[in-house]
Amino acid sequence: MKFTDGFWLVRDGYSLRHATHVQRAEFDSTSGTIRALVAPRVVENRGATLNIGTLNVALDSPLEGVVRIRVSHHTGGTPSLRYAVNEYSPSVSLEESEGEVRLTTGAVTARLKTGKSWGLDFSAAGKVFAEQSAKSLTIADAPDRARYIAAQISLKVGENVYGLGERFTSFIKNGQSIDIWNADGGTSSEQAYKNIPFYLTNEGYGVFVNHTGKVSFEVASEAVERVQFSAEGEDLEYLVIYGPTPREILEKYTALTGRAPALPAWSFGLWLSTSFVTDYDEKTVSQFIDEMAQEKIPLSVFHFDCFWMREYQWCDFQWDPRTFPDPEGMIARLKSKGLRISLWINPYIGQASPLFAEAKGLGYLLKRPDGSVWQWDLWQAGNAIVDFTNPDAREWFKAKLRPLLEMGVDCFKTDFGERIPTDVTYFNGANPEQMHNLYSQIYNETVWEVLQETKGKDAIVFARSAAPGGQKMPVHWGGDNTSSFESMAESLRGGLSLALSGFGYWSHDIGGFEGTPNPAVFKRWIAFGLLSSHSRLHGNESVRVPWSIDAESVDVTRRFATLKEELLPYIMKVAVEEVNALGTPMMRPMLVEFPEDRTAWFLDQQYMFGPDLLVAPVFTESGDVEFYLPQGTWTNFFSKERVEGGRWLKERHGFDSLPLYIREDFKYLTL
């Protein structure tokens, strides 16, 4: 949300009250908290305390090296919804001296001025790494009578901002205006399926805004020297997380919000889908699987999309008897070939589904304020939405999934969850604006829980939407991309941004979802897709079996699917020792491994696959690719040639290759 009109003026109809004069600051030694009462103007006498609002500001620490700031204006209403944060009760030091109070947690000291000019800064190792100065904490009243709390943190010269979820726009977020609002916008727009109000910078810290509603970030876009974040309501909570390295920032952020488990080995293999709206039956599916085996392409999971259920009835969780008269037998036959089975589901109930009347009668669907069921005709005719804030509705939804799991299904693709309306009422009375993003979390939690109950450590979903903490329920994929090199590159940007938002695993539709890829795009994407944490062949109106593209695509798919099988011991070690134990993503931007290398902070067309492997996907038909090798000696994975880094390289690759280099001081690989 932008409140100003240029540097000098306020937008028409808005009024801004900035934190200015700390009236008093008090210590609560029991909880390790500083509480301050802040006036929006300098108060020279008692009379000046009349007819003004105040801001209540509290500082504490949930984890060593993390400072939490809680700001509130009017406290008589219901507090804003927040994401769950783990509390570690670290040792905190509270100190006071002339003109300031200080809170120290680990290496970090937060210093709040107590004079007549607002100032809050954060320092470590003798250096201020982040600060809030004049006009950086604000009550904003809008023309429509809505109220917002806004905060700003200054940016230093050359400071870059990263993260904020799976965003397909520029990797460095400076200059962007970003709303944290889950949307079904595809990968070619500024909208995102996975919005995470957390960013980190190359100055050694991250910021997590713990608010489930729409948080608007102005990243050097309204005030170009600052990051501003704001949310509607009377309160705002944000956490400043010191690293100083990206690894350490992510380690602390995921300690607070949760980490991905170490997933089963089979999940890292190749997934093949029927594709979204294609026609298929058991014969079609068996032909796909048998031909993959004949071509010696290792296959791990087969996924049934959409039309395993009857049209208009999504979701009724029943196999369409016209095309699948014997689902139990079919699943047994497929699993005898060593495959796992995945099914597509979503949280919506079409009016033609037998479950619509059942859920309506039980009160399990979102309602309009007048008490009627919320419905529309987008997606499925008379579509309604399950209200997962109702515990009974959650158990009802789980009960519909259990028979499928008992039948032999191994996992679910939890599609959708973004188009959640705000003109609704929830069972638990929650603010619908603050439930919009949180909905995807509760939806995925519901499915994750039933999978854990039945599959234990083999539990896995394949989810599109997410919110903070969603990384605990992997895997997530990048949504609706298109069949082009440009979309392949934007998909990678989204994955790297999600990695810097605390998510350990990520996948994408190999070859692009929309359209049919030309052979060059498909083959280049195969190499990229099978050197991602999770790998899925999936399209919309056309299938992605490699022989449907061209003969060479079969050879390329075999080569890279086999390569990923060979890398599985390495992948599993990374999953256990880094993703799960430390919160370090499997696919990581170069800056995570090489924070001391200035060039690494700008790279978004290559990545590290675990700590040892550098991958540079090829985004051209010709095979020409330019990439950067950081300082040190690297080994070409294919040729075993040793190459000195600290420089850019240009190479040309056939479809059966790409730049893949092993780091000299490798941790898990062996040459």
Q: Which residues contact 6 (CB under 8 A, 6 or more apart)?
A: none
Note whether 315 and 352 are within 8 A (CB): no
356-398: per-residue pLDDT in tens? 999 999 999 999 999 999 999 999 999 999 999 999 999 999 9
CB 239 within 8 A of CB 210: yes
Quick: pLDDT tens for 26-37.
Answer: 999 999 999 999
Give residue limits of the domains in the chain. Answer: 4-80+88-154+232-242, 265-582, 587-663
Nearest in space to 307 (alpha carbons), one of 330, 349, 278 = 278
Looking at residue 644, the DSSP 8-state letter turns out to be E
- Examine the residue annotation and report whether 281 is marked as an active-site residue of this protein: no
Res 626: pLDDT:
98
From the candidates 251, 410, 415, 604, which is the catalytic residue?
A: 415
Residue pair 615/608 in contact (Cβ under 8 Å)? The answer is yes
What does each C-alpha distance from 626 to 494, 538, 650, 652 come to in angstroms? 20, 28, 4, 9
Helices (H), 456-509: 485-499
Report H helices in 261-386: 282-294, 327-335, 354-362
**Given the residues 418, 509, 593, 604, the one annotated as active site:** 418
- For residues 650-660, average pLDDT: 98
Is residue 177 within 8 Å of 2, Cβ to Cβ? yes
Percent of the chain whose pLDDT exceeds 90: 99
pLDDT tens digit string along 224-251? 999 999 999 999 999 999 999 999 999 9
- Answer whether residue 587 shows pLDDT above 70: yes
Quickly tell me which residue has 């992605």 as its tokens: 544
pLDDT digits (tens, 9 = 90+) for 504-559: 999 999 999 999 999 999 999 999 999 999 999 999 999 999 999 999 999 999 99
Please tell me whether residue 559 adopts helix, strand or coil conformation. helix
| 4-80+88-154+232-242: CATH number | 2.60.40.1760
Separation CA 70–CA 35 (nearest Å)? 9
- If pLDDT is split at 50, 70 and 90, which confidence band does 606 have? very high
Residue 519, φ and ψ in degrees, nearest 5? -55, -40
Among 184, 480, 509, 578, the active-site one is 480
Number of residues in the chain: 671
CA 144 to chain CA mean position, Å: 32
**Number of neighbouring beta carbons within 10 Å of residue 157:** 5
Q: What is the residue whose two structure tokens read 């700003």?
A: 152
Q: What are the distances in angstroms from CA 556 to CA 211, 506, 652?
A: 45, 22, 16
The CATH code of the domain at 265-582 is 3.20.20.80
Under a CB-based contact definition with an 8 Å cutoff, are residues 506 and 540 in contact? Answer: no
How does pLDDT run across 283-316, given as a tens digit for each residue?
Answer: 999 999 999 999 999 999 999 999 999 999 999 9
Which ranges of 295-431 would DSSP assign to H, the alpha helix? 327-335, 354-362, 391-407
Identify whether 480 is a catalytic site residue: yes
Strands (E), 488-577: 509-510, 535-537
Mean pLDDT of the chain: 97
Residue 662 has pLDDT above 70, yes or no: yes
587-663 in CATH: which number?
2.60.40.1180
User: pLDDT at position 671, please?
Assistant: 67
Positive or negative, the CA dihedral 65, 71, 75, 81 is negative
What are 337-354's pLDDT values in tens digits?
A: 999 999 999 999 999 999
Instruction: Give the whole-angstrom CA distance, residue 234 versus residue 423.
Output: 21
pLDDT at 335 over 80: yes
Residue 192's pLDDT is: 98
**Strand-pair category, 509-510 with 535-537:** parallel
| Position 650 pLDDT exceeds 90 | yes
Distance CA 659, CA 525 (A): 13
Confidence of residue 623 (pLDDT cuts 50, 70, 90): very high
Round to whole Å and give the CA distance between 29 and 599: 45
List strand residue ranges (DSSP E) for 146-300, in order. Answer: 147-154, 161-163, 177-180, 198-201, 205-209, 215-219, 226-232, 235-242, 270-273
Would you say the CATH fold of 587-663 matches that of 265-582?
A: no
Told to judge if 418 belongs to the known catalytic residues of this protein, a careful annotator would answer yes
Q: What confidence score (pLDDT) does residue 670 get?
A: 76
- Residue 15 — φ and ψ, nearest 5°? -130, 140
